[in-house]
Structure 1
Amino acid sequence: MKGVGIMRDQIVSTTMTIRTTFSGQGYGLDSYQREYAWTEKQVEDLVNDLTSRFSREWSPKHELPDVASYAPYFLGPVITSSRGGIPYLIDGQQRLTTVMLLLIWLRRTQEGRDDAVSGLDSLIYSDQFGKKKFAIDDDRSERARSLLPLLNGLDFDEASEQSSSVRNLWNRFADIERLFPEDLRDEELPFFIYWLLDRVAIVDISAKDSSLALEIFETMNDRGLRLTSLDMLKSFLLGKVAVADRDDVNKVWRRRLTDLADIDTGANSAFLKAWLRAKYSSGSEDDTSIGSAFDKWVRNASARMDLDRPAGARDFVLRDMDYMAGRYCELLSATQELRTGLEPVFYNAFNSVTLQMPLILATLSVGDDDATFRRKARLVAGYLDVFVARSMVNAHDFRYRSLEHRLFALAREIRGMDADALSLRLGEEVAAITDSFDAVSTFALRSRNRTYVKYLLSRMAAWIDAECQTGYTFADYTRSAKGQQPFEIEHIWADKHAYQPDVPRRRFSDLRNRFGALLLLPKDFNASFGDKPYAAKLPLYMGHHLLARSLHPDCYANNPNFLRLIDRHQLPFQAFPDAFDAEAIEHRQALYRSLCELVWDPAQYGLVVPTSAPQSARARFSRSLRRLVEAGHVPVGSQLTGTYGGTEYKAEVTSEAKIRVETGEEFEAVSPAAAAVLGKPSWNGWTFWHLAAADGSLVLLDHFRQAATEPESVSADLAA
């Protein structure tokens, strides 16, 4: 027992919530620790895991105290050693740094909300004599160069940053912004924050000194020889094949996994999961099991996969895996750079639409030649490209969590489908998309759609460049390599109301952010000339891409390719040599809508879209605004009112069960509508919007939702 006591003095294991983990004086990082190196895929996995686990628990019926009974989530162990009273991270800094980035993002997103969760600042940093020290900091103070701008919502000059670790912090923060589900940004946000802080836990394995901590780390990661799902699946398959075939099976297995790892370190497991879901899953339960432990799932499904026969197990690797892994490598390469014929694969990867991979694999048959493979990949990726763009302008979510069940079901339907049938079937899917580019007529830059606006502008500019053979591509507008100025959104109207004195101040802000009043220009231009009046900026636009140059009359002189483009597609391009007023913005808005229809024309991908098709409505939780309207609880034409900071905002419920705000923009969900009018990244629309009851009083929209299960109560409120 004496030895056990000594061991307890040397190593202490403590279970801690995220709140407890970040409530101390912070963690140190030794100079020999590797830099922050997590990739987009690792951040995506963490965000998906956290948000999916939370969503299993949350209900619109819940109050905040109910979060205390939500199922916990284990984030894994960390190893620390204490020195000078400060715990130093030996293992786990990648995970905890990413959680800190998530906390910073949540702090910024909830800023200004009346239901904001307090105390996030003290978890993210401490104030040491007027200097912010972050919860996870290094001795080199490099992180502050990235974290301080992130914390304060400031710009970060990524192009001139020398440290790859600092740039990576910035990029991974941008991934969180892009990947975090839209619906969790609204009324669910405070619930999620409390769940993250108080129901997500780690185990801190603390050693007395760093040498012992490093020994623990090595034991857990090396001598423990933890077998991965890949290792166990390989062992299982080798045990199934005939002895004479084992060497060949092993060689193909190793060669293909090496090929994948050479392209991306996490590609091995990602491929196996995508392939198994695409070709062998029979439903959502299988999809979930494959995602958590695909080796166990294969063991359980071995009979129906024909793996119990030695020849079946052999063919599974030598024929099926060999072919599919090779095609997956091609797709993976196409996600990293533009490949002729596979451009939509790159676009979807840019938007983190990882579900394109299993969907494409599902359509393939072993033996499909290169032309067939490329055609099928282009059809699937093209369909998703159209879906994503329409979702963007209609403020709809297209992230993994919102699409996984729908697209995995589609994958099962189109397994092995020939290319001609696939073009027809996916054309039907396009026809069934309820979102259209009609929404471009009122589309505007908002705090939560900046990434989408930049993407849409990039695609439009690149499309014009391609048509006019300028040599510029989409990648040129989106990459931000070291030493290269990144492109940023340019407001044609400077943020100076004095330049537009005839426009009411509130209307000025709305018009300035309209899609047609925006361009994409290098960051240094925005910094130097963004606050200049239109007359001063117009000549400078001539030095940039055609979409910007088209504002100047000289763009239409001696420019035959551009003029042919206008004539061929009857595009409403027009120069504005003297002034760019509200009417010009509306004209430009119409131009951008026409461009969107062309850039995302399904026919370019080979999709055959029927003239009519049954419309499949988006699934929403059972008490959404649409459900309330369809049930008669909220009548069409209802006038909504919301007040904030002494300003009253009005909206109307349309016949399509959407909320039309004063700018004309329409939103299917109440919270994005509230966030849009307030200019906030997040807001709870159910507690913002009010509806007039029969007695003239204003009743929270949330009252009608909560009472939807009690028809008598709702009827009484609305009775004439």
Structure 2
Amino acid sequence: MAKQTENPVSSYDPKKEPIGQLLSLTNPSLIVPDWQRNYSWKTEHVEVFWNDLIFFMDREGPKPKGEYFLGSVVIVKTQSGDYKLLDGQQRLATSAILLSVIRDQIKSYKPNAADQFQSQFLVGFDHVEEKSIHKLRLNVYDKEYFRRLILIERDGDYEEPTPQISSHYLLHNTRTFFEGAISDLISGLSEKERFEKCMLVARCLLNHMTVISVYSTDEDSAAEVFETLNDRGIGLSTPDLLRNLIIRRADEEQRDTVVELWQEVVSFETDGAIKNFLRHYWVSRYGDVKSQSLYREIKRKVEAEKIDSIALSTSLSDSAASYRMLLGANTDDAEFNKVLSEVKEFGASSSILLPVLLGLFETVSGPDLVICSSNLLNVFVRHSVIANRENSKLENVIYAAVRELRSDASAQKFNKTISEYAPTDAESVSAFKKLSITHNGSRRAILKRFELDLRQTEELDIASPSRVHVEHIYPQKPKEGERWEDHGRLVNRLGNLTLLSARLNKEIKNGNFELKKPAFSKSELLMTKALAAGAGWSAVLMNSRQEKMAKKVPVLWPLLKE
């Protein structure tokens, strides 16, 4: 039997301790490493935390004796004497925020008690070194805002800081939530009763909310512990793990630079958005990988090829800026932005195009960028929307094509490769004849192409979805006696859909064709105005209209094969 490698967690010393002990006995500070995630708890997470605390308090009464388990905390005592908090910052930061609200609430009644809260759990003072000790210090992106919002006392000259990034807003929201929750809890009580209620909340939090703290003095194996805990389902994120890996591999003098470069990556609004970017970045360069195995795949390649931390962080930072422009459709190329805006209309299913669009944006420029991205969109519409084929094989083709483009392939070869996989003209026409779509953005994008084709050289900027709606010619909810026999099969067919201004749409909602004709005739959209010339509307006429539309598919979604 092969010798089993020692599990890094086995050399760590786990022990159970209350939140108050973690905060009160910490000198030096508990420090969240700069490669760790920003504060990320949303109001729903904070609300669960609060409800659990209040449930425990109500159950235990005025003299609580039990305990409530909050999870695990991982702390590494470094050779320099710092305590690095590898896991648990969300719970500890949220606890500190609640304590700051209680501190401010009780100050007017018992200033000494508020001062004790401040010095014991939030900011102590080292009389030997003559300096303040922040009990909890967040990462480089959050620490100053957290200090000014939570840690410092709110005297008469206090001025609340302005949030700058998404995690700052989350910290502010958490503080605001607790201010409201405490206010509701003590509403209608006397000043003394308010103080006692606040102290009971604090006692339950500090003395009876417990964690399993895992301590070590082995800084070098901290990353391995971090990853092992992740494998055991504690829920550490890919961005956290990857930052840890890259910082650990960097030379000491490079680490500040790595942290600074990662600012562009971590400034996406959520962990999920960061993870999406990282996956799309990787896919556009190295091939498809599923989210659950993303970190392991990146780690394998980074270690096997000894990829430099600064080089990788620089590439990630540059690509994050590009990716943000793609998401916002706000690049310097107006025509490319139009393609990006149309991609967004197709919703979540079109996200498979983002790694390819990122590769195109970083590889080709000028007319080729618009040509390649337009062709990519046309392939997607034919394959995934009109023919309604499964996306996995298409992903393999387009991801391989963009990787080849990044190495040395031409734009022409890229277009030829992806176009050959798309449904043919005949297949696309046939599929369109029976096409039914429920996703509003997708059918709106398709109808816009037909409207623009009718106008040919005439410029038109069709207004946003809030102003121009998709209208069902035969209504979604027909009145009694007007329902078609095959209602469910026909109502969302493309031949039964048009575009109409929101104002006119409200006037004729769920009306029959005769009631809608006057609104159709007032429309500035040619495809809609043409409907008003008809004498009526039926399943036969709808099929006829859709067949005529189908013949236009090869022209409206052309493929570039040369």
- TM-score scaled by structure 2? 0.50
Find the aligned partners of 1:509 and 1:526 in 2 and give their Cα distance. Answer: 21
Match of 1:487 among 466, 469, 481: 469
Find the aligned partners of 2:519 and 2:553 in 1 and give their Cα distance. Answer: 25
Match of 2:450 in 1: 460
Cα displacement string for residues 373-414 of structure 1 (whole angstroms, at most 9, x for unaligned residues): x8447624642443235533334444xx78655654555454
- Aligned-partner SS, 1:354: helix
Find the aligned partners of 1:222 and 1:542 in 2 and give their Cα distance. Answer: 71
Amino acid across the alignment from 1:609: K
Find the aligned partners of 2:491 and 2:516 in 1 and give their Cα distance. Answer: 15
Match of 1:551 in 2: 531
Find the aligned partners of 2:204 and 2:331 in 1 and give their Cα distance. Answer: 38
Match of 2:380 among 354, 368, 387: 387
Amino acid across the alignment from 1:495: P
Tell me by how many angstroms 1:547 deviates.
Answer: 1.7
Match of 1:313 in 2: 309
Preserved contact between residue 397 and residue 418 of structure 2 (Cα < 8 Å): no
Match of 1:656 in 2: none
1:261 aligns with 2:268: yes
Match of 1:556 in 2: none
Amino acid across the alignment from 2:485: R
Q: Report matched runs for 1:382-531 at 5 Å.
A: 382-398=375-391, 408-416=399-407, 417-430=409-422, 435-444=427-436, 452-461=442-451, 467-473=457-463, 476=464, 478=465, 480=466, 487-492=469-474, 495=478, 506=485, 514-522=493-501, 525-526=504-505, 528-531=507-510
Find the aligned partners of 1:91 and 1:220 in 2 and give their Cα distance. Answer: 5
CA separation of 1:515/1:472 partners in 2, compared to 1, >3 Å: closer, same or farther? Answer: closer
CA separation of 1:609/1:498 partners in 2, compared to 1, >3 Å: closer, same or farther? Answer: same
Preserved contact between residue 239 and residue 271 of structure 2 (Cα < 8 Å): no
CA separation of 1:389/1:342 partners in 2, compared to 1, >3 Å: closer, same or farther? Answer: farther
Tell me by how many angstroms 1:549 deviates.
Answer: 0.9
Match of 1:342 among 329, 337, 341: 337
Find the aligned partners of 1:222 and 1:463 in 2 and give their Cα distance. Answer: 65
CA separation of 1:469/1:432 partners in 2, compared to 1, >3 Å: closer, same or farther? Answer: closer
Match of 2:239 among 223, 230, 233: 230
Preserved contact between residue 431 and residue 609 of structure 1 (Cα < 8 Å): no
CA separation of 1:346/1:36 partners in 2, compared to 1, >3 Å: closer, same or farther? Answer: farther
Preserved contact between residue 429 and residue 553 of structure 2 (Cα < 8 Å): yes
Q: Report matched runs for 1:126-145 at 5 Å.
A: none
Cα displacement string for residues 623-656 of structure 1 (whole angstroms, at most 9, x for unaligned residues): xxxxxxxxxxxxxxxxxxxxxxxxxxxxxxxxxx
Amino acid across the alignment from 1:551: L
Find the aligned partners of 1:599 and 1:432 in 2 and give their Cα distance. Answer: 13
Match of 2:549 in 1: 592
Preserved contact between residue 355 and residue 404 of structure 1 (Cα < 8 Å): yes
Q: Report matched runs for 1:113-128 at 5 Å.
A: none
Match of 1:270 among 250, 266, 276: 276
- Aligned-partner SS, 1:468: coil
Amino acid across the alignment from 1:534: F
Amino acid across the alignment from 1:349: K
Amino acid across the alignment from 2:415: S
Amino acid across the alignment from 2:265: L
CA separation of 1:267/1:523 partners in 2, compared to 1, >3 Å: closer, same or farther? Answer: same
Tell me by how many angstroms 1:415 deviates.
Answer: 3.9
CA separation of 1:594/1:467 partners in 2, compared to 1, >3 Å: closer, same or farther? Answer: farther
Preserved contact between residue 335 and residue 370 of structure 2 (Cα < 8 Å): no
Match of 2:193 in 1: none
Preserved contact between residue 428 and residue 554 of structure 2 (Cα < 8 Å): no
- Aligned-partner SS, 2:306: coil
Preserved contact between residue 249 and residue 309 of structure 2 (Cα < 8 Å): yes
Find the aligned partners of 1:300 and 1:525 in 2 and give their Cα distance. Answer: 58
Preserved contact between residue 281 and residue 358 of structure 2 (Cα < 8 Å): yes
Find the aligned partners of 1:354 and 1:593 in 2 and give their Cα distance. Answer: 26
Match of 2:357 in 1: 360
Match of 2:43 among 15, 19, 34: 34
Find the aligned partners of 2:209 and 2:521 in 1 and give their Cα distance. Answer: 60
Tell me by how many angstroms 1:461 deviates.
Answer: 3.8
1:609 aligns with 2:534: no
The count of aligned residue pairs is 362
Preserved contact between residue 249 and residue 314 of structure 1 (Cα < 8 Å): yes
- Aligned-partner SS, 1:236: helix
Find the aligned partners of 1:437 and 1:515 in 2 and give their Cα distance. Answer: 13
Find the aligned partners of 2:539 and 2:329 in 1 and give their Cα distance. Answer: 41
Find the aligned partners of 1:375 and 1:523 in 2 and give their Cα distance. Answer: 37
Tell me by how many angstroms 1:548 deviates.
Answer: 0.8
Find the aligned partners of 2:526 and 2:436 in 1 and give their Cα distance. Answer: 21
Q: Report matched runs for 1:684-703 at 5 Å.
A: none
Preserved contact between residue 516 and residue 586 of structure 1 (Cα < 8 Å): yes
Match of 2:78 in 1: none
Match of 1:540 among 519, 524, 528: 519
Find the aligned partners of 1:213 and 1:410 in 2 and give their Cα distance. Answer: 58
- Aligned-partner SS, 1:340: helix
Find the aligned partners of 2:201 and 2:382 in 1 and give their Cα distance. Answer: 51
- Aligned-partner SS, 1:521: strand
Tell me by how many angstroms 1:253 deviates.
Answer: 2.9
Tell me by how many angstroms 1:295 deviates.
Answer: 4.6
CA separation of 1:432/1:506 partners in 2, compared to 1, >3 Å: closer, same or farther? Answer: closer
RMSD: 5.1
Amino acid across the alignment from 1:426: I
Structure 1: stretches of 5+ with no match in the other structure? 8-32, 38-77, 93-208, 553-574, 603-607, 611-720
Amino acid across the alignment from 1:301: K
Find the aligned partners of 1:533 and 1:342 in 2 and give their Cα distance. Answer: 38
Preserved contact between residue 541 and residue 549 of structure 1 (Cα < 8 Å): yes
Match of 1:82 in 2: 55
Tell me by how many angstroms 1:541 deviates.
Answer: 0.9
Preserved contact between residue 436 and residue 493 of structure 2 (Cα < 8 Å): yes
Match of 2:299 in 1: 299
Preserved contact between residue 229 and residue 294 of structure 1 (Cα < 8 Å): yes
Cα displacement string for residues 109-154 of structure 1 (whole angstroms, at most 9, x for unaligned residues): xxxxxxxxxxxxxxxxxxxxxxxxxxxxxxxxxxxxxxxxxxxxxx
Find the aligned partners of 1:587 and 1:471 in 2 and give their Cα distance. Answer: 28
Amino acid across the alignment from 2:530: S
Identity in percent: 16
CA separation of 1:91/1:471 partners in 2, compared to 1, >3 Å: closer, same or farther? Answer: farther
Structure 2: stretches of 5+ with no match in the other structure? 1-14, 19-41, 60-68, 72-199, 216-221, 227-235
- TM-score scaled by structure 1? 0.41
Tell me by how many angstroms 1:436 deviates.
Answer: 0.9
- Aligned-partner SS, 2:335: coil
Find the aligned partners of 2:304 and 2:544 in 1 and give their Cα distance. Answer: 59
Tell me by how many angstroms 1:454 deviates.
Answer: 4.7
Find the aligned partners of 1:305 and 1:356 in 2 and give their Cα distance. Answer: 28
Tell me by how many angstroms 1:334 deviates.
Answer: 1.7
